Structure formats: C-alpha cells, structure tokens
Amino acid sequence: MIKVAINGYGRIGRVAHRVIILSHQDAVDVVAINAGASTDITGWMYLLKYDTVYGILPDVELSVKKAEEVTLPFTSQTPLIGALVINGREIPVFSEREPEKLPWRDLGVDVVIESTGAFTKQEGLQKHINAGAKAAILSAPFKDEEASNTYVLGVNLDQAGTQKVENIVSNASCTTNCIAPIASVIEKAFGIEKAMMTTIHGYTSDQRLLDGGHKDYRRARAAAENIIPTSTGATKAVGKAIPSLAGIFNGLAVRVPVPTGSLSDFTFLVKRDTTVEEVNKAFEEAAKDPKFEGILDVTRDPIVSSDIVGNYHSAIADLSLTQVVGGNMVKVIAWYDNEFGYSNRLVEETIILGQQATGGTENKAVETTQPA
C-alpha cells in the first residue's frame, strides 16, 4: 500500500480522495490530510460526503473525531483539527500553513498530493520532502520556467509504472491532460506546423460568485452570470510534455456558467493535407491503443457538457464536430470533466510515483476503470 497525504482539501483534493475511495483503496492508503481553517472537521466530512456535482459518496461510512479525541502514535506540535473516520479507519486532519512543519516522517508518507494552489514551484514541493515525504506531486503546472518534470499520462509517461521519474513532479492541469493526448495524436499522424486552442471551461473557486475584487478583472465578475475570457497555461505545459510543440501552440480559456464539464476547441495547421475521415480514423485508432486506455475516448453522439460529468477519461474527442478546411487546417473538439477526469490521472500518477518511492516492488499497469 502506498501511503499518501493530501495537502489541500479543496475541489481537487476532495475529488482525488473520492477517486481513491471509489477505485484505488487496494493500492492507496490516505494517512493524513492537511486542510484549511475555512470549516471545522465536521464540515470537511460533510463536503466529502455530499457533493453538488457528483452526489453522495456511496457505500462509505463516514464520521469524525474532534481534535481532543484523536491520539497520534507520536508526539506532534502540528495543529490538529480532528480526524475523518472512513469505514472505521481514522485519518488525522491537520491545519498547518507551512509544509515543513507537517509530520510526514512520523506518518511514513510516501507521496504528498500538493493541491493547495499555494505551492506551485519545485522549492515549495521540496518542503514536503524536507518534512519526510519520499515524493510529492503537484496538481497544477509548475510556475518555474526551467522545471521540466511535468508528466501527462499517455503522452510522456506510460501507465506501466516502469518509466523512471523524479520524486517531485507536476501532473500539469486538467486542460493540459485533455489537450496533450489530442495534440499527440495529430502530431504523430500529420505533423503540426502551429496550433491554437480555446478551452470552454466550467467556472472554478478562483472566480467570484458575485462581482468583487480580483487581480484578473474579468474573473472579478460573477461566475454564474457571465462568459469570462481568461488566460491558461495549458498550452505552454503541453510543450513540456511534447517538446516539438514548444513555442508553436497557444490558447486561452473561456469560463462559462457550469460547475464542471468542459471542452477544448483546437485549430491545427498540419504538415500535410488530410480529410475529416482520416482525422477521425486517427482518433479511433488511438483510442484503442493500450497507452491511451482510460485516457482518450471518442464519440459521435450529439452530447452536451452534462453528459460527460463523472467521465474518467482525460479527453473525449467528438468526431461529429471534426472539420478540415483547405486540406491542412483541422478543427478538433474534445470534451473533458475538468475535475473528475483530472483527479483520476492525478491519483494514477501518484500511484506510479509511490511505487517508485517504495522501491518499485509493485510496478504494474495502473488500472483506469470507472467506478460503477
């Protein structure tokens, strides 16, 4: 079992925990959570159990212990707010802003999932290593320009678990995990001269519910009432996963009033003439490739965003919307659940990292099966 700590219990931290509970309890043991002070221990349990998007967490017994009821098997000065009790097993929940003060060494943590949004450089994740964790994975792109240890499953990291990676890595962003497999298929089949991408993306907690202050003036506007253009670092991160696309792939995000369920709209200028049929065939064949199992899917159905909520794939290419103009300008549309799909990849990459951190004795393909 890989011992995992979750640092940051917001949307991605909690959805990743759901994925572990639903699909990976045989491989992952969550031994600690470090959460913020925005609610108490009962509030964190409530938010894990009840989710507006994904519903009630099924077939799980949940309760809590208050801080004074929790006994740790070691002496710790780290602020403790209580424990989540999941199917009878206690998980201590801390509230500590400084990662180096967390008791990862005492807990025997193999991998920390860093999902606070506060630490997005390698030096920030190094603090978890200093605290005793063997490895750390960032649930966002690195903000270090020089950082190259960004991995996208199916693109520059295989699912077999045999590829050696660093002990501090980034799982990139939800959008990068969608667009990198799509770009990889087009690059391999046709070659890419240059490309643009717009992600039509559900709103996130970084936006304002009502008009209010924000350094990004557009994100300052009411998220549920507006179509909001903003920036994305996803295309730059793709250049780290697919070096041949560095500097020739750019894009932006348009936030829309849905809580999750997004799509990426690509325009590729390719190196040879092609047809809609040939492009679609390339995606159909790629979706059958074992390296993209559970990562890339295709559909021809006239779906909308709510139809892919809870879908565990990184990208679902909508073949009914493929277009080709002038032979070498190609439009591709791919859907993705920007929370659930991404969280599945985050957990799978955590398992690979943990297998290596514990000596690689369990190196085997990571299962990407959707919970019933």
Q: Is 174 considered catalytic here?
A: yes
Cα separation of 273 and 330, whole Å?
10
Q: Which of 137, 174, 298, 319 is catalytic?
A: 174
- For residue 69, give both structure tokens: 């009821």
- For residue 126, give both structure tokens: 């190094």
In this structure, what is the dihedral angle of CA atoms 290, 296, 120, 214, given to the nearest 10 degrees? 180
- For strands 329-336 and 323-325, give the pairing: antiparallel
**Contact criterion met (CB below 8 Å) for 297 and 317:** yes
Provide DSSP, 99-145: GGGS-HHHHT-SEEEE-SSS--SHHHHHHHHHTT-SEEEESS----T
Tell which residue, 144, 197, 208, has the closest CA to residue 175. Answer: 197
- For residue 266, give both structure tokens: 């690509």
- For residue 216, give both structure tokens: 């990004």
* DSSP 8-state symbol, 87: T
Sign of CA dihedral 147, 152, 156, 159: positive
Tell which residue, 286, 278, 284, has the closest CA to residue 299. Answer: 284
**Contact criterion met (CB below 8 Å) for 179 and 296:** no
Sign of CA dihedral 35, 40, 46, 52: negative
Active site residues: 174
